[in-house]
Amino acid sequence: MMAASENISTLDDYGRRHHQQQLNAAEPFYELIKQPVYMVVVYTLAYSAVFLLAVIGNVLVICVVLVNVLVICVVCRNSSMHNVTNYFIVNLAVAMTTVAMTTWPSPTCSSACSVCQSPSSPTSSQVRIHHL
């Protein structure tokens, strides 16, 4: 009977020591990522502000494109609106839509592709400089 209880106690001690060794081994890593509470709050607020501004900016770009397309459609469909002033407004709507459609996806695609790019592969600016 004594032998069985000794085995259980040695297994229990081994389990405690093994668990403590795992905790001690992981502790230096956690020391690197631990932050004070005020810094966690600051980081959370900063990242939340960036996220909200990005969402608002993207929604505004989509709204600008849709409104400009509607302006173009209204002026093109109604013959009573075919005058110089409205043609100028259509011209501005086409220009704004073109600018929004060419500048909005570019930063999104470049930031998404830069994550996938390996350090050894040349970027487009390196290729352009090389060709000059």
Per residue in 3-42, pLDDT (tens digit) is 555 555 565 666 667 666 666 655 555 565 677 888 888 9
CA distance 129 to 132: 5
Per residue in 84-121, pLDDT (tens digit) is 999 999 999 999 988 888 887 666 666 556 555 555 55
* Chain centre distance of CA 38: 24
Q: How far is CA 73 from CA 6, 66, 91, 106, 112, in A?
A: 87, 11, 12, 26, 34
3-state helix, strand, coil in the chain (%, to 5): 90, 0, 10
